[in-house]
A and B are shown apart, each in its own frame.
Chain A
Amino acid sequence: MLDKNGIAKRIAQEVEDGYYVNLGIGIPTLVANYVRDDISVEFQSENGILGMGPFPIEGEEDADLINAGKQTITALPGASYFDSATSFAMIRGKHVDLTILGAMEVSENGDIANWKIPGKMVKGMGGAMDLVASAENIIVAMMHTNRAGESKLLKRCSLPLTGVGCVKKIVTNLAVLEVTEDGFLLLERAPGVTVEDIKAATEGNLIVKGDILEMNV
């Protein structure tokens, strides 16, 4: 089974040379730590920076330089700043190659819910609705089950939706899955996790074809 860093490490393998990548808050932010250093990648943060670098060294924090999670960051050589409308022109206009975000629920037809629990938690969608509505390459990073042990990979989402039919790939602590017309196609299993474990933790339709290899992380 993977921890959050393990999930980020596996997703980092999906990042290719020349990609502009938008990372959501939470596990997705960790992906930047594991991208191969022999490829050229630029991270976009929706609050207005391309070419986002690591956190600053203590004492060099700049209140005018933050990421979408409001954390202090740095800018790498070649970086640029822009306004919010331009930022979402990059996203809506499909100029960003890969979007990685977290989710509370994903359904077998690729719907995603991650912004609201009615009556309990309403933080808002931030940029998530714009991202999932436009991005062609979306990977969801999340735990396979919630804190109560219930599956987050469902037939139908129970929470208010963020977007419909948009998720292509999911990386969880248990597996890598692709969203297909017939449901969740199991691609890889996490180290030490069996296909039966994944079946038991998946409420939506799980498709298992042939031998399922263990992830290389």
Chain B
Amino acid sequence: MIRKTVTNVTDALAGVQDGMTFMLGGFGLCGIPENAISELVRLGVKDITCISNNAGVDDFGLGLLLHQHQIKKMVSSYVGENDEFERQMLSGELEVELTPQGTLAEKCRAAQAGFPAFFTPAGYGTEVAEGKEVREFDGKMYILEEAFKADFAFVKAWKGDAAGNLIFKGTARNFNPCMCGAATITVAEVEELVPEGELDPNQIHIPGIFVQRIFQGKDYEKRIEQRTVRQK
């Protein structure tokens, strides 16, 4: 077995530098790599580009990096729920590339799977298509979208083992599997790092080959953005 385990988040993020491009898993605050984000805040790396479906909220998730002005550019599909983000974007401090959500996911998967680009109908005829190659297939119009290039992918899983195999839980899966192996180095943090052999190979969502470093995460807050309940 090839061992991917590192002892802590500091070792997991070794090599992170100013100006790098990072992928971060999660949808809203669900399934975000909380430990990696905290460490990026502590390290204070600057001028970074973040590829993440959302930008967190004002005081949690990527909002923490925004507050310290560490982010130069965000690549996201939806950036509501964050006042500081909106302020930085409208004032021009922050560069923002809005990308349709399915395209965002596929640009990750393309990088993971070795495709340089792909055609999608999403965004045809809109601002998103500006400057992109357009092609017709079977009477329908498509635009060419290129795979992402990133230095690190930070993902969060429910369970993992020393081989880097990962299992996700509920809708905390979202972008995390698509980002594994889509950057030069994939760092996985897990709620539970289990002994080797404990994960059933039939149940593994992401094989360890897509993961370079894995560590036992800690102090997960798992904040709920919109707590919505019904009466019994």
Contact = CB atoms under 8 A, between A and B. Distances in A.
Interface of A: 45-49, 54-58, 60-73, 75, 81-85, 87-88, 91-92, 111, 115-116, 119, 122-130, 133-134, 160-164
Given A57-B230, A83-B177, A133-B121, A64 B31 contact: yes
A85 B108 contact: yes
A84 B229 contact: no
B77 A124 contact: yes
Contacts of B44: none
A198 to B, nearest CB: 28
A15 to B, nearest CB: 20
Interface residues of B, number: 59
A103 to B, nearest CB: 14
A150 to B, nearest CB: 22
Interface string B45-82: 00000000100000000000000000000001111110
Interface string B145-185: 00000000000001000000000111111111110000000
B202 interface: no
Given A57-B229, A72-B224, A64 B172 contact: yes
B102 interface: yes
Contacts of B83: none
Interface stretch (B2-10, B22-30, B131-139, B207-215): B22-30
A109 to B, nearest CB: 11
A54 B174 contact: no
B35 interface: no
Give me the 8 closest cross-chain CB pairs, A-B, nearest first.
Answer: A88-B102, A130-B102, A164-B125, A64-B170, A123-B80, A84-B105, A129-B100, A63-B222
Nearest to B112: A85
Contacts of B172: 63-64
A125 B129 CA distance: 13
Nearest to A122: B89
Given A47-B30, A72-B224, A64 B171 contact: yes
B100 A66 contact: no
A129 B128 contact: yes
B173 to A, nearest CB: 5
A123 B78 contact: yes
Contacts of A164: 124-126
20 contacts: A47-B27, A47-B174, A48-B174, A55-B230, A56-B229, A63-B30, A64-B172, A66-B225, A71-B228, A83-B173, A83-B175, A84-B102, A85-B106, A91-B102, A111-B125, A122-B89, A124-B78, A125-B77, A133-B120, A160-B126
Contacts of B175: 83-84
Given A61-B224, A122-B86, A125-B100, A70 B120 contact: no
B101 interface: yes
Given A125-B78, A163-B126, A88 B106 contact: yes
B52 to A, nearest CB: 12
A65 B171 contact: yes
B91 interface: no
B229 A58 contact: yes
B203 interface: no
Contacts of A81: 168, 170-171, 173
Nearest to B143: A133
Contacts of A125: 77-78, 98, 100-101, 128
